Amino acid sequence: MPDDDRLILQRFVDSVFATTHFVSRLDVVLRAEAFDLEPDLMEIIELLPPGTYHRQALCDQLNSALIGHCWTERFRTVD
């Protein structure tokens, strides 16, 4: 997988927090659909529990799901 593909989730997180400090799970899911994330990444996004997230909390949740799926090599973790 090219490096650009491995950074897509980081670019997504950067775009989510480009204009705000907090997002809801629904915001993240809708933005992921608009960002046209591939199905495996949508699966990770859809694992988010309901709630409102600041950047670090969202990254922690996404990274936990990536680690749980053993996909950190494939997609990298986010910060």
Q: Which two tokens stand for residue 48?
A: 């988010």
- pLDDT tens-digit profile of 50-73? 999 999 999 999 999 999 989 888
Continuous segment of H or E residues that includes residue 5: helix 3-6
Question: Which runs of consecutive H residues, i.e. helices, occur in 17-70?
Answer: 25-35, 39-46, 55-68
pLDDT at 14: 96
To the question of pTM greater than 0.85 for the whole model, the response is yes
Q: Is the pLDDT assigned to residue 2 strictly greater than 60?
A: no
Instruction: Calculate helix-pair angle for 25-35, 8-16, nearest 10 degrees.
Output: 130
- pLDDT tens-digit profile of 7-42? 899 999 999 999 999 999 999 999 999 999 999 999
What are the sequence ranges of the domains in the chain? 3-75
Three-state DSSP state, 15? helix
